[in-house]
Amino acid sequence: MLNWPLLGEFLIQWLTLTFMLIGLVGLIVPIFPGLVVIWLAALIYGIAAGGFDTKGWIIFILISILALAGNIVDNIFMGTKARQSGAAWISIWVSYAAGIIFSLIFTPLIGLAAAPAGLFVSELIHRRDWRPALKTVRAMLVGWGWSFVVRLIIGIAMTGLWMIWAWL
């Protein structure tokens, strides 16, 4: 005879882990909200498994803090690197605005290309020389790369915290 409650718990845990792994792999694609997927998987697990006891709440709060920090790190790393290379604040804001506006009007992939293009055009107008404008774009993309590394580490930590919640 099957133990239905145990089978249900097993399925909930493995579905949660599957979605968390999808979130981790999705971090490779900058427009995919991998950390949000991991956070939502933890939230749904807590609701479906009835896991919001004291330990569950503490771990879920930690997962939430990590998700929030990970979603902010993109902008901080990209903006900081661009600023360190000499980009004007207005150019950085133009870049963010271009990314958001083009993502909403067209697709997130177009928005992804529009952010560095917006930085380049704004810096080109500001400096009247394409070389330093290109230098700021390169720096912004380096910041983007570092933010991926940090978001991946945060995603692994979020998944690890969930494993402690579910399996210990």
pLDDT class for 4, splitting at 50, 70, 90? Answer: confident
Q: Does pLDDT of 29 surpass 90?
A: no
Asked if 82 and 143 touch (Cβ cutoff 8 Å), the reply is yes
Long-range contacts of 27-31 (CB under 8 A, 24+ apart): 27/148, 27/151, 27/152, 27/155, 28/148, 30/74, 30/112, 30/144, 30/148, 31/103, 31/108, 31/109, 31/111, 31/112
pLDDT, one tens digit per residue, over 121-161 is 999 999 899 999 999 999 999 998 998 999 999 999 999 99
Q: What is the pTM of this model?
A: 0.82
Give the lowest-confidence range in 1-5, 13-17, 40-44, 64-68: 1-5
**pLDDT grade, residue 111 (50/70/90)?**
confident
Extract the tokens encoding 164: 């402690």
